Amino acid sequence: MITINQLSKVFQTNNASITAVDKLDLSINNGEIFGVIGYSGAGKSTFIRLINRLEEPSSGEVTIDDQTITALSKKQLRLSRQEIGMIFQHFNLLWSRTVRQNISFPLEIAGVAKAEREERVDELIRLVGLSGREDAYPSQLSGGQKQRVGIARALANRPKVLLCDEATSALDPETTDAILSLLVDINKQLGLTIILITHEMHVIQKICHRVAVMEQGAVVEEGNVVDVFSHPKQSVTKKFVEQVMGKPEEQATDETFMHHVEQGKVLRLHFVGETANQAVISQVAKQFKVDLNILHGNVKQTQAGAYGTLYVQITGEEVEITKAIDHIKSIAVEVEVKGHA
């Protein structure tokens, strides 16, 4: 368990004090992938560097497995950092070293014997999919391969926690997906806790179990990814959700298609979890004397389950429509009547 209590960072300039992280509280479970999302200037990069004290906090505490990181001496911190791996947006590789030598570097610093180092490096090269590239230099690698080296290096000392500072921001979409899939595999195989900061909701959607939304140095919304995606509360969260879901549903349900419906009712069906994968529409059409016409829909998959929204036109006798709506509600689908034709 990682517990962050009233964590703050204030930068002093000649003219003013700038609060980058403001009394932040979070709890992160062992073995989960926890996302932190925010726009530039939200404080998320400062926050992740406070966890391993690459930035010294102005106040507050960071505790990992009952060890208070913020109370450690410099010598104790050096040892503790071996259990906290970190990967960066721009890879931070040693350009004069090969793939093998880059991955081996933290093991050399830790004083690991040569034979053990070589065995561990070989294991990590296989894990991150770099077999055959061991003797290449960073200048000979693609962006995705460089980040794989960064991930392998971060895992060298068998850390408990992996911090990812905008780890995919410098990569193209296809390479981003490959790196995110690798992080999911590592999380499952090693049981590693991963804290990932990003400004891209696609990244959160693809791999995170829970998410915190940061704005002006504070967490303004937090929760299970499916819950936050399906019911965003803060305006900044709604903007992020638009990145993967399109325009807000209020815009999608007005004159965009309502004027094309001449009879019946328009229903908004909201699916979360297992119901998003059920054949609800066909079930209702078979069981009740109603006709259903899909007008608009969007269903997305996340690590924590599926969620989505579907707009349908339903026509038939009023009593049959009522029965159909009651049935849909009974299988844990939210139903809202958006309009009558």
Instruction: Report yes or no: 193 and 31 within 8 Å, Cβ to Cβ.
Output: yes
Reported confidence tier of residue 257, pLDDT bands at 50, 70, 90: low
Largest Cα separation within the chain, whole Å, is 79
Reported confidence tier of residue 263, pLDDT bands at 50, 70, 90: confident
Place of tokens 């059409």: 285
Which is more confident, 275 or 8? 8
- Residue 304: its pLDDT value, please? 63
Tens digit of each residue's pLDDT (9 = 90 or more) over 270-313: 777 655 556 777 888 888 888 888 877 777 777 766 677 778 88
DSSP annotation string for 72-93: --HHHHHHHGGGEEEEETT---
Tens digit of each residue's pLDDT (9 = 90 or more) over 70-101: 999 999 998 898 899 999 888 899 999 999 99
Domains of the chain: 2-244 (3.40.50.300), 249-340 (3.30.70.260)
Reported confidence tier of residue 253, pLDDT bands at 50, 70, 90: very low
- Residue 334: its pLDDT value, please? 79
- Residue 247: its pLDDT value, please? 59
Which is more confident, 13 or 30? 30
- Residue 245: its pLDDT value, please? 66
Burial of 56 (0-12, 13-18, 19+ CB in 10 A): exposed
Distance from C-alpha of 219 to C-alpha of 239, rounded to nearest angstrom: 16
Provide mean pLDDT across the span 139-159: 94
Reported confidence tier of residue 254, pLDDT bands at 50, 70, 90: very low
Tens digit of each residue's pLDDT (9 = 90 or more) over 164-207: 999 888 889 999 999 999 999 999 999 999 999 999 888 998 89
Whether pLDDT at 328 is above 90 = no
- Taking the CA atoms of residue 61, residue 2, residue 116 and residue 181 in that order, the dihedral angle to the nearest 10 degrees is -130
Whether pLDDT at 60 is above 90 = yes
Q: What is the CA radius of gyration of the chain?
A: 24
Mean pLDDT of the chain: 87
Whether pLDDT at 338 is above 80 = no
Residues 6+ apart with CB under 8 A from 22: 8, 43, 216, 217, 218
Reported confidence tier of residue 161, pLDDT bands at 50, 70, 90: very high
Backbone angles phi, psi at 45, to 5 degrees: -65, -40
pTM for this model (two decimals): 0.79
Beta-bridge partners for 35 = 196, 211
